[in-house]
């Protein structure tokens, strides 16, 4: 369980996150929506440790992780798939996946890549190829597969559908559903709300670094408020 409590964070004098509280349970996808520049990515970066919160608490399964180094947060069980996907083009698909083993906690399983390759047949077929031969959608899959190697409790995903064709976007969202079914707590930032809202169990809308709407995707009124919020 991820708990974010009254978190503030800033870049220099720019106070971007201004008191956000939310929690994400295992097996739940929480959507984070809002117009450009409201602080969605900054929230994910703060949870991932790329940016230290200036105040507030971030807890994973009851333990405070706020302000720790990104590697420590990753090893504690929080994985981040940033918007630029961070694929290493000089490496093969398999080598890119092996980098996910850096986030492993405890003893190394004998075949950490096995279960992941089974789940991502497109990547398994091309394990020895250079990551540059993958399409944008496959690179997004590789970034998501890589973090799954370490079997994290919490997955932070920033704009996974950005720049991708609709067919592959459906596959990317299917992977997110699979993560949820595997019991991950997923915090998902997405511009493509019409697609994303269908994957979410709950959502929040952010405006100027604060939550202005906390909604249920099944509720038509909440969905309409969200669309209204984003079109203001
Ligand atoms: P969103 O993800 O909602 O589009 P961001 O979290 O990327 O918004 O950005 C929130 C605000 O913080 C924006 O005004 C943006 O210009 C600013 N910002 C983002 N990254 C930095 C940075 N590295 N340094 C200074 N300001 C930044």
pLDDT in tens, 161-197: 999 998 899 999 999 999 999 999 999 999 888 889 8
Pocket probe for ligand 1: among 16, 44, 204, 205, the residue whose CB has the most ligand atoms within 8 Å is 16
- Residue 130 CA from chain centroid, whole number: 25
pLDDT digit string (tens) for 209-229? Answer: 999 999 999 999 999 999 888
Please give the distance, rounded to the nearest whole angstrom, from the Cα atom of residue 49 to the centre of ligand 1: 15
18: its two tokens: 């201004």
66: exposed, middle or buried (Cβ count in 10 Å: 0-12, 13-18, 19+): buried
Q: What does the pLDDT look like over 32-88, one tens digit per residue? A: 999 999 999 999 999 999 999 999 999 999 999 999 999 999 999 999 999 987 889
Q: How far is CA 142 from CA 46, 96, 109, 191, 220, in A?
A: 23, 8, 20, 21, 34
Residue of the nearest CA to atom 25 in ligand 1? 11
Q: Give me the pLDDT at residue 17, please.
A: 97
46 touches ligand 1 (CB under 6 Å): no
The verdict on the CB of residue 209 being under 6 Å from ligand 1 is: no
13-34: per-residue pLDDT in tens? 999 999 999 999 999 999 999 9
Instruction: Say which residue, 208 or 103, is predicted with more confidence.
Output: 208
* CATH code, domain carrying 49: 3.40.50.300
How confident is the model over 104-125, as a mean pLDDT? 85
Q: Indicate if the pLDDT at residue 135 is higher than 70.
A: yes
Point out the ligand 1 atom lying closest to the alpha carbon of residue 158.
Answer: 2
The residue whose CB lies within 8 Å of the most ligand 1 atoms, and thus the one to mutate among 41, 82, 162, is 41
Q: Closest Cα to atom 24, ligand 1: which residue? A: 11
CA-angle at 197, arms to 213 and 143, nearest 5°: 115
What range does the domain containing 225 cover? Answer: 2-231
Helix (H, G, I), strand (E, B) or coil at 11: strand
Which ligand 1 atom is the nearest neighbour of the CA of 209? Answer: 10
pTM: 0.95
What's the 128 CA to ligand 1 centre distance in angstroms? 37
What average pLDDT does the segment 99-117 reach? 82
Indicate the number of domains in the chain. Answer: 1
Sorted by sequence, the CB contacts under 8 Å of residue 83 that are 6+ apart come out as 41, 158, 159, 162
* 39 Cα–ligand 1 center, Å: 6
Report CA-CA distances (Å) from 77 to 18, 63, 147, 166, 218: 25, 11, 10, 31, 29
pLDDT score of 232: 67
């Amino acid at each position: 369980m991820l708990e974010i409590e009254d978190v503030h964070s800033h870049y220099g004098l720019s106070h971007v996150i201004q008191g956000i509280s939310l929690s994400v349970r295992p097996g739940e996808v929480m959507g984070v929506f809002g117009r450009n520049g409201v602080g969605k990515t900054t929230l994910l970066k703060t949870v991932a440790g790329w940016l230290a919160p200036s105040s507030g608490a971030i807890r994973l399964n009851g333990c405070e992780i706020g302000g720790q180094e990104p590697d420590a947060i990753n090893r504690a069980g929080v994985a981040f798939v940033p918007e630029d996907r961070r694929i290493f083009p000089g490496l093969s698909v398999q080598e890119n996946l092996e980098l996910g083993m850096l986030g492993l906690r405890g003893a190394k399983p004998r075949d950490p890549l096995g279960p992941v390759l089974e789940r991502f047949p497109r990547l398994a077929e091309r394990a020895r190829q250079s990551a540059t031969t993958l399409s944008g959608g496959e690179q997004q899959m590789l970034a998501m597969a890589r973090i799954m190697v370490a079997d994290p409790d919490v997955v932070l995903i920033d704009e996974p559908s950005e720049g991708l064709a609709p067919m592959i976007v459906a596959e990317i969202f299917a992977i997110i559903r699979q993560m949820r079914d595997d019991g991950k707590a997923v915090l998902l930032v997405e511009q493509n709300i019409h697609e994303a809202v269908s994957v979410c169990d709950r959502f929040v809308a952010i405006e100027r670094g604060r939550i202005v709407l906390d909604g249920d995707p099944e509720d038509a009124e909440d969905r309409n408020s969200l669309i209204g919020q984003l079109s203001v």
